[in-house]
Structure formats: C-alpha cells, structure tokens
Structure 1
Amino acid sequence: MTYNTQKIRVIHIIARLSTENTDGASMMLYKLMAHTDRTRFEPVVISLDGEAELSNRIRAHGIDVFSLDMHNNITAGWQIFKLTRLLRTLEPDIIQGWMYQGNLAASLANLSLGNRYPVLWNIHHTLPDLNKEARTTRWVIELAAKRSASPEHIIYNTYLSADQHTAIGYDNQRNLVIPNGVDTQLFSPNPYQRNGMRHSLGIPEDAFVIGLFAHYHPVKNHALFLEAARLLLQHQANVHFILAGRGVTANNPKLQYLLDKIPAQQNLHLLGGRKDIPHLMNALDLYTLTSSYGEGFPESVAEAMACGIPCVATDVSDVAKIMGNTGQCLPVQETTPSALAFAWLEWMNAGEAWRQEVGSRAMQRIHHTYNIQRITEQYQKIYQNLVNDAQTETMTMLVSG
C-alpha cells in the first residue's frame, strides 16, 4: 500500500460507519470523503467497529477504509495499541476523530505516539440531558471532557451542541462550528421526480402534500404530526401526507392508535425506510419537522430547502439559523396539533406563487451557506492551516537551533 507524500494525509477515526446513525456523523463523513479535493488531500478512514455498507461506499471513491472490530472498551491498552500501530504505518499529517469514541481514541492513540500529530474532534450530538445518555456513553462523554484541551479544534455541527458541551466542561477555546452540508446536485428541484412520485403513490396532481421524513422515535413527535393531520383533513379533503423513515409504517403499534383516529386513510402514505428521499422531497408542497428536543443538525430541513420546499418546523437545535426567513419556526412548548394544523392551513392559503418564492429563497440559502462543497472547503482550510502551522513551527525550531 503506497500513498502520495505530496498530499496532506488526513486519517479519520470514527466509532462506526452506519447509515442508521441518527446523529448523521457517518453520512457527513461519507459526503466529506466524496467531495474531498484528492489533488491536495489523501483521506483514510478507520472505523473502530466492524465492516458496514458505508465502508464499501467510501472505498468506491478510492479511499482506504480499515475496520478494527473494537466493539467495546476502546480505552483498553491493547485496543489503543492496535490503533496506534496502524497510525504509525499510515503516517498521517492530521488525525480527525468522529463521535465521542472516535474522538477519545484519536487523542489516546496520539498520546501513545508522543502527541506527534495535530488532532481534531468532531461532535454531531446534542446533550439536552447528560443523565439520559446510556451509562457507557455518559462515561465516554465525561472522560472526553477531561481530555478536551488535547485537540487543536473541537468541531461541532450546531451552535447548540457547542454551548451544551461547553456547559459540561468541554474546552470552549477549541470550539469551531461547521454545519453539515447538503449535496445540492442530489437535492434540487425536479418536476419529473415530483410528478413521478405523486403518480406512484396515487396522489392527485392538484393535491397539497405535506411530508415528514424521520425514523420513528418519541423525540421526533410523530404523534403531533398525525394529530394535526387529522384536524386538517376535517376541513381540507385534498391534502395528502407522506411520512417516511425506519419504523414509520401502519404496522407500528405505537402509531396505530393515532392512525385509527384518521378516517381518510387513503390520504396518509406511511412508507417506512426509503432510499429515494430526493424523489419524495420533490413530491411535497411543504415539509414539516415536529421534533420536541434532541435534534443535532436537522438534515431533512436543509434537504427540503435545497429542493425549493418551504418548511414549517419546531424551533429545535439550529433550525431557526438554518431556515432564516425562508420558512416558519414554531415554539416547541406552544405547538399543539391545532396550532400546527393552522400553520399548515395558512401556507396552503398563501398560494402557490408565494410558496415558490419562499422555496426559491430557501434553495439559494442552502447553496450559499450549506452546500456540501462549501462545507468541505471549510474542513480543507483547517487541514491546510494546521499543516502550515506545523511546518512554520518546524522551521522556527531549526533556525533557533
């Protein structure tokens, strides 16, 4: 195995590679790998867990992926030795951790190498209540807080996450906020996708369609969405609702009692997990996020905006910063089903021309601020600056010596 020594070699250490990862770190790493400037940078990925579908998707871009099967107890000496030995072979210029375990492993391995390399941490998780985290996760979070002065920077994907981690003792002198990026080639307005998806689901062309794409979890508050849908259907017969995400099916017993209250079942489309989210997004007139707390970076809101779809969302995490003046944020504590249904009705009555204007502003906002290419360049500037600083320090030492 040979590497081009003229490029900046960045070794990414992540706890696991999984498309099921709800905080989006795995998918953000994948997008970063797919858009990295390979003429300047040589990325390598190390997963502390086993092989996953995403491992091969990254390899398809010509990037090496190593899976270490360190499922448990990453701080054990022999586990860190395994990682250290691999890092010594790869000879990185920069080590970047992802997720709490990946961050901690990166710093511990670098410590065993004499703190030879600059280290970055990457956190894609919010902490509404540390005590609600699993015991092992809480222990890793607290241990990492004690080591948080060791990385050059701690990169958060939301300002909320940065504030929450600072509050529990993470070194705020290291903070940087770089949001997740959206692939605007994949997520963009597409009338063919819109018409094709509506036709396949049996939705009339003139129907008003509202969507929510999120795996089933109480924090996503599907109950709020479905109860609001029931109320709106009492007054608007030509409105349809598309819901997609793992566990979001009519067979989910935790949703059944809500679905039984809705007489117009043909207007509800519960699709479960899907891989054609850009097509589904384009079928909508309005996207809604109903989360009650705990969101990291609300990826689906940014993806809807990139497709030119206006959003109505509860004001969680950095939603208000992402949307700007291109949608509607609803206070979490005040958003009842009737309040949400009324907000939907206002957007329906505002007319198609207005929604298209707002959607166009939303799309421009994503292109300007959250485009994955722009986000990737922010990471690459950090890498370049770290290498430049290291070279300057080396030259200074040689001159002074």
Structure 2
Amino acid sequence: MKVIHIITGLNDGGAEAVLYRLCDFDKYDEHIVISMMGKGKYGPLLENIGVKVYCLDMPAGKIQFAALIKLYKLIRQLKPDVVQTWMYHADLIGGMIARFAGVKNIVWGVHHTTLVKGESKRSTILIAKLNALISSFIPRKIIYCAEKSRQVQESIGFSPKIGHVVPNGYNIDDFKPDLDAGMAFRQEVGLAEEKFLIGHVGRYHPFKDYPTLVNAVSLLTKEKSALKVVMVGGDLTTDNTQLNQLIKDNICTERITLLGRRNDITAVMNGFDLFVLSSVSEAFPNVLNEAMACGTPCVTTDVGDAAVIVGDTGWVVPPRNPQALANAMLEAIEEKQNNSQAWQARKHACRERIVNNFSIEKMVEGYQKVWFN
C-alpha cells in the first residue's frame, strides 16, 4: 500500500521521531513524506532509508496559497491508499486538502494532550478547536498516541466514534543497556567520578516546567550536597539567559550541567543513574521509554500517559510540585546507595516493561490495522 504522511515539519521532536521509526520499520508499505515546512533534521534521515520527501517550504505560522496548490497536486499525482497526517496543523490543512483531492482514507495523528492557556500558543488552541468541529467528516479515523490524549481531545469535541490509541513504539535494539557507552559519556562530560548522576533530556519549552525541576534540585541539595544533574536538549545551554538565571536564583550553578543538543542519546541515557521529567503537559513522552529501554529508572510528573509507561518501575508525582519531585529523587538515590539488589531489579524491570509493551513492531502493526481495516 502507498501511504502519504503530511507533517507540520521535520525538526527534532517526538512525533517526527515516531514518523521516522514507522517508515523505517514498516517493510510492507511504500511511505512518502510531505513536510509543510522544510526538511529539518529528519528529512535527510528519511531519504537515507529510501523514503521520498517533499517540502512545501511554508514559513512557521503562515499559510501560502501556492504551497496548498502544490500539496493538492502532489496528492493527486501520487494517488495514495491512505493519507496519514501528523499533529494539529497538518491534520487541519493536510486533511482538508487531501479531502479536496479526492482521498477518502484520511487518518489524523494527534500527539497533544492538554492545551494550557498562557503556555500553548493561541493559534494551536484555535486549530485544535477547529479540528474538533470538522473531525466528524474529514478523517476516517484518528490515531492518538496516548489514552489520555484521546480523552482530552474528545472532551473538547473530537468525534468519539473514530478514535484509536496506538502507543509509540521503540527500537529496543537501538535503546538498550550499555555500560561502556554510559561511562564514555560520563568521562567526556567530566562526571565519571559521580556516584549518582541525575539526568534530563528535553527542549526548552514552558510545558517542560524547568522552574519546578530546578527548584526540586535546589531542595534536594539540602539532603545531598554533592548532587550532580545533567540537562541535554535544544536550548538547554549556557547561552540560554533565562534558564541560567533560573539556575543562579536557585543556587544550583555548581549542581547543574547544561549540554545542549546531542546525537548520542543512547549513551546519554545509559550514563544517567536516574532520568527525571518535570513536565506539566505531555501526551506519550518518548524520553521515558528511551531511558527505561536502557535500564534507567525514571521519576516523572503524572502527565499524559507517563504513569502508564513507568508503571511500578519508577516514581510518579504531581505536576508543579518541586518538593514531591525532590522527595522521589531522594528515594531513588537512597535505594541505589542502600539496597543495590533492589536497584538492579528495578533497572531490569524498566527494560522489560518497554520490551513487553512498547516495541516498534507493536506500533507498526497498530498503524496498519487502523489504515487498512
């Protein structure tokens, strides 16, 4: 079957990574990707695995009539068996253009959960509401990456009759325990001697709630003065004046190391003793799966399907609660220091939970069932 994917852009992000993995591991169908913006990070990677990538080159936040005509012509020319759209903007624009082009088998992909006033863009909230209005007649089906996402979207008006949950899947051969890679990462960043290294991978965004994370680290240093925390991801650098001021205000400059974006995330996850997610909004946080597949226990806020992913292998705390986050991190530190047998069992359970529930094979099968049934 021929599948056209229409996505807002191909920069570094969770949904973009899922699209790449889906195209890479589905050997039965032909995949073509249309980015409403540019090639970003994943365009060249997709081309390297033989996926044709087209770009509409629309600027962020602007719709160009010529680009819509190009999209219409591409769909007519390529004659797909299914059009799979990714995220709100592509669901709206890609879905409507595909319908005008005569495609009936349109599947929306939703990778948001809650829309927070003041933190979500106004345009994103507006598009979500527009999508709710047209969800009963543009898509044939809707794929949500998390059960929580489905519940939230249906509560704002998305058609409840056509929703399906397909959890994100991971290549458990790419993300796996690797002590040597983890130690090499720690040595490179000058933290090889640390007995317990807390880590975070994300991007600088209000949803990630860095004030809560940094405040929790500040509280934790009162119990563990030798604490070290590493943050990896977009804009998590010393050039980010807002983040650096936050760290200084909480007297954490000596505790927190900012490394920015890296391409060796498997080594990074293996280098951490504990992974921490402090978000106020997520759908199906990929980073938890990546950490756990490497055998790294997690502390997470109770957002989206985070609790479903972690299960009983880690710690789940309320959002916006620095003290609860600090307490959970302290529990993890003390378990590793005082009960190494329980800690090793926890690490093993993390890996097993991802292998048994969130493999890439299960995800590909889930998408195919929705597309062709």
Q: TM-score, normalising length from structure 2?
A: 0.90
Q: How does 1:231-246 map to 2 (within 5 A)?
A: 231-246=219-234
1:208–1:103: structure 2 CA closer, same or farther, 3 Å change rule?
same
Counterpart residue identity of residue 349, structure 1: E
Does the 8 A contact of 1:207 with 1:238 survive in 2? Answer: no
Equivalent position of 1:13 in the other structure: 6
Aligned-residue offset at 1:324: 0.9
Q: What are the superposed Cα offsets for residues 132-155 of structure 1, whole Å, 9 maximum, x if unpaired?
A: 643433443233222212312111
Counterpart residue identity of residue 382, structure 1: V
1:243–1:111: structure 2 CA closer, same or farther, 3 Å change rule?
closer
Root-mean-square deviation (Å): 2.3
1:126–1:269: structure 2 CA closer, same or farther, 3 Å change rule?
same
Q: Secondary structure at the match of 2:229?
A: strand
Q: What are the superposed Cα offsets for residues 17-60 of structure 1, whole Å, 9 maximum, x if unpaired?
A: 111x4xx22221111111111xx211111112233332111011
Is 82-91 or 54-63 further displaced after alignment? 82-91
1:336 is aligned, of 322, 325, 334, to 322
1:196–1:147: structure 2 CA closer, same or farther, 3 Å change rule?
same
1:256–1:66: structure 2 CA closer, same or farther, 3 Å change rule?
closer
Q: Distance in 2 between matches of 1:106 and 1:253?
A: 37
Q: What are the superposed Cα offsets for residues 275-329 of structure 1, whole Å, 9 maximum, x if unpaired?
A: 22211111111111111x2222211111111111111111111111111111110
Q: Distance in 2 between matches of 1:136 and 1:288?
A: 30
1:28 is aligned, of 18, 39, 48, to 18
Off by >6 Å, runs of 4+ in structure 1: none
Unaligned runs of 5+ in 1: 1-7, 386-401
Q: Distance in 1 between matches of 2:287 and 2:298?
A: 10
Equivalent position of 2:123 in the other structure: 136
Is 78-87 or 360-369 further displaced after alignment? 78-87
Does the 8 A contact of 2:215 with 2:322 survive in 1? Answer: no
Counterpart residue identity of residue 336, structure 1: P
Does the 8 A contact of 1:230 with 1:261 survive in 2? Answer: no
Equivalent position of 2:289 in the other structure: 302
Q: How does 1:70-85 map to 2 (within 5 A)?
A: 70-71=58-59, 74=63, 76=65, 79-85=67-73
1:311 is aligned, of 293, 298, 308, to 298
Does the 8 A contact of 1:313 with 1:329 survive in 2? Answer: yes
Aligned-residue offset at 1:383: 2.9
Equivalent position of 2:113 in the other structure: 126
Is 341-350 or 356-365 further displaced after alignment? 341-350
Equivalent position of 1:389 in the other structure: none
Aligned-residue offset at 1:360: 1.0
Unaligned runs of 5+ in 2: none
Q: Distance in 2 between matches of 1:228 and 1:73?
A: 39
1:268–1:132: structure 2 CA closer, same or farther, 3 Å change rule?
closer
Aligned-residue offset at 1:130: 6.3
Equivalent position of 1:94 in the other structure: 82
**Based on CA coordinates, which of the two structures has the bigger radius of gyration?**
1
- Give the share of equivalent positions with the same residue, in percent: 34
Aligned-residue offset at 1:266: 4.8
1:145–1:206: structure 2 CA closer, same or farther, 3 Å change rule?
closer
How many residues get paired? 368
Equivalent position of 2:370 in the other structure: 382
Counterpart residue identity of residue 183, structure 1: N
Counterpart residue identity of residue 118, structure 1: N
Does the 8 A contact of 1:320 with 1:329 survive in 2? Answer: yes
1:370 is aligned, of 314, 337, 358, to 358
Equivalent position of 1:160 in the other structure: 148
Equivalent position of 2:334 in the other structure: 349
Aligned-residue offset at 1:118: 0.9
1:107–1:250: structure 2 CA closer, same or farther, 3 Å change rule?
closer
Equivalent position of 1:62 in the other structure: 50
